[in-house]
Amino acid sequence: MAQILGSSAPETLQGTLESDAIFGMGGNDTLLGSSGDDTLDGAAGSDSLSGDVGNDSIKGGSGSETINGGSGGDTIYGDGDNDLINGDADNDILYGNAGRDTLYGGLGNDILYGGAENDLLFGGSENDLIYGESGDDTLDGGSGKNTLYGGYGNDSLVAGQEDDSLFGNADNDILEANGGNDLVYGGAGNDIVNGGLGNDTVSGGSGNDNISGGSGIDELVFPNQIPLNGINLNLETGTLIDEDGGTDNVNGIEIVTGTILADMMFGSGGAETLKGGDGDDSVDGASGNDLLSGGLGNDSLDGGYGNDQLNGDDNNDTLNGKDGIDTLNGGTGDDLLYGGALDDQLLGDAGNDFLDGESGNDIIDGANGSDSLYGGYGNDQLSGGDNNDFLFGNGNNDTLNGGAGNDQVNGGGGDDWVTGVLTSSSPAGLGEIDTLVGGSGLDTLVLGDATQSFYNDGNDALAGTADYALISGFNTSQDKIQLHGSQADYLLGNSPMGLPAGTAIFQKTTDQNELIGIIQGASGLNINDSYFTFV
């Protein structure tokens, strides 16, 4: 390894084919590394340094330097004054240090540090990591998938056409993501954030920011894990009070994820996804076909106009579909669900929920928990699910099924089908005592289907008093009771001692007859009359 020392005079120092150490000392020198892994140090003066071939370590020293790493993975230090540094080929690490420096990563996956003062940093091709550090810097990622950090100062960050990550950090920055699916965070200060083309994730950070998602499906997020307050966002007017109290202008946003605190969100006329996150959130989709989710907390979701999907998620939520054909899922907790106009689907999920289809032909499922279901106007389908539920069809012609548990099922107005049990179970209605009311209209109360008789425990040694249907308001001129089998399989009698008074329906067995139902308020019934039907 040769050691080549210059003098105080301007000189040209040429390395050998080996790995050399070349020191310019004083004067404005030219240092040429040649092949091998060389160490070049310009020292005093404004020098020109070139590593050429090999993995070189190059230090500019004092003065304004021009440095070219050449091929190989080079480490280059600009040191003092205003330097021009080019990493050239392969994977290089460039440090501008003091002065107003210009750094070019060139080919390869490069790492660039601007250092102090106002620097220009260009990543070049491939995947680069660029730090502006202090000063008002300009960072250009070039081609490849790049990560840019502005640091302190009023910086300008420009990405290429691939999937880049831009972080403005402190002060007032301009971030332009251009093409690709980018991550663009303004950080502190009054920033301009532009997602450009592609599906981007954007955040203004603290300060009064201008945020544009650009084209594509873009998401606005709030990464502060300790926010001062929840956000207040209106996508229709493009205004945002952010988590740190800043006032932002927002456009081109299709997805929003809120903070851990109580957020307020109002959508626009487009199709948006609004996610409340943690906290007790208020989310209004406005017009458009929206997806709304409450996340943790006791949330209020309003679909507005359009065909919306509302998910309450955890805790006790209030969901209102409003206009449009909506799908509502309460999630866990004791939720309130209102379908609104048109034909909606409501699912209570876990918890003791209240579900009201309101107008339209709705499908309503309480699922788990002891739920209250109201069909509202329209021809509705109501399913209680598990536990002890209350179902009321209200107007029009409804189909009601209490499911498992001791249910109260009331058809209300219209011609309804009223069932108390989960018909897919066997034996259906085991251990259940359901109350069935047809209401006004031509109603059918279902105590069996083509496959089995309901409320039959299958034990001929027992009288079946632990499971039966209690039928109220039965009108023999309008209503029917559907049973499995034929007239010969049943007989009518008085209800067993200790049970509600009425006419009992027994299914014949080889031992004790099995109680299937009790009809209250009706006398003189005959199993052969037409109000009993058999399948």
pLDDT, position 320? 99
Contact criterion met (CB below 8 Å) for 120 and 104 = no
CB contact set of 457 (below 8 Å; sequence gap of 6+): 427, 430, 431, 464, 466, 467, 514
What gap in Å lies between CA 369 and CA 366, rounded to an integer? Answer: 7
Report the share of the chain in percent with pLDDT over 90.
90
51-67 residues labelled b (16+ CB within 10 A) or e (exposed): bbbbbbbbbbbbbbbbb
pLDDT tens-digit readout, 127-164: 999 999 999 999 999 999 999 999 999 999 999 999 99
Give the other-Cβ count within 10 Å of 138's Cβ.
Answer: 18
Report the share of the chain in percent with pLDDT over 70.
100
1: pLDDT confidence band, cut at 50, 70 and 90? low
pLDDT at position 223 over 70 = yes
460: pLDDT confidence band, cut at 50, 70 and 90? confident
Read off the pLDDT of each residue in 58-68 and give the average, rounded to a whole number. 90
pLDDT tens-digit readout, 15-44: 888 898 999 888 899 999 988 899 999 888
Contact criterion met (CB below 8 Å) for 187 and 167 = yes
pLDDT, position 298? 98
What gap in Å lies between CA 396 and CA 407, rounded to an integer? Answer: 21
Read off the pLDDT of each residue in 186-193 and give the average, rounded to a whole number. 97
> What is the chain's mean pLDDT, rounded?
96
DSSP string across 411-477: --SSS-EEE-S-TTSSSTTTT-EEEEE--SSS-EEESB-SS-BTT--S-TTS--TTSEEEEES--TT
Q: Which helix (H) or strand (E) holds 137?
A: none
pLDDT, position 63? 83
**Residue corresponding to tokens 């109680």:** 515
pLDDT at position 80 over 80 = no
In the numeric block, which tokens belong to residue 458? 């299958």
Dihedral over Cα of 369, 372, 375, 377: its sign: negative
pLDDT tens-digit readout, 373-405: 999 999 999 999 999 999 999 989 999 999 999
pLDDT tens-digit readout, 93-119: 999 999 999 999 999 999 999 999 999
In the numeric block, which tokens belong to residue 507? 């299914």
Could you list the beta-strand ranges (E) of 178-315: 183-185, 192-194, 201-203, 210-212, 219-220, 232-234, 239-241, 247-251, 255-257, 264-266, 273-275, 282-284, 291-293, 300-302, 309-311
Q: Which helix (H) or strand (E) holds 509?
A: none
pLDDT at position 522 over 80 = yes
Query: Higher pLDDT residue, 474 or 9?
Result: 474
Read off the pLDDT of each residue in 54-69 and give the average, rounded to a whole number. 91
Closest Cα partner for 231 from 250, 191, 258, 203? 258
pLDDT tens-digit readout, 254-307: 999 999 999 999 999 999 999 999 999 999 999 999 999 999 999 999 999 999
3-class DSSP state of 184: strand
Closest Cα partner for 164 from 188, 147, 149? 147
pLDDT tens-digit readout, 478-490: 999 999 999 999 9
Q: Which residues pair with 202 in a beta bridge?
A: 184, 220
Alpha helix segments (H runs only) across 200-301? none
The amino acid at 415: D
CA 88 vs CA 22, 113, 355: distances in Å: 20, 16, 67
Read off the pLDDT of each residue in 509-526 and give the average, rounded to a whole number. 95
pLDDT, position 140? 98
- Please list the helix, strand and coil fractions of the chain in percent, rounded to the nearest 5, in that order: 0, 35, 65
User: What's CA 429's distance to the chain center, in Å?
Assistant: 39
What gap in Å lies between CA 281 and CA 317, rounded to an integer? Answer: 9
Read off the pLDDT of each residue in 36-63 and give the average, rounded to a whole number. 91
pLDDT tens-digit readout, 337-360: 999 999 999 999 999 999 999 999
177-205 residues labelled b (16+ CB within 10 A) or e (exposed): bbbbbbbbbbbbbbbbbbbbebbbbbbbb
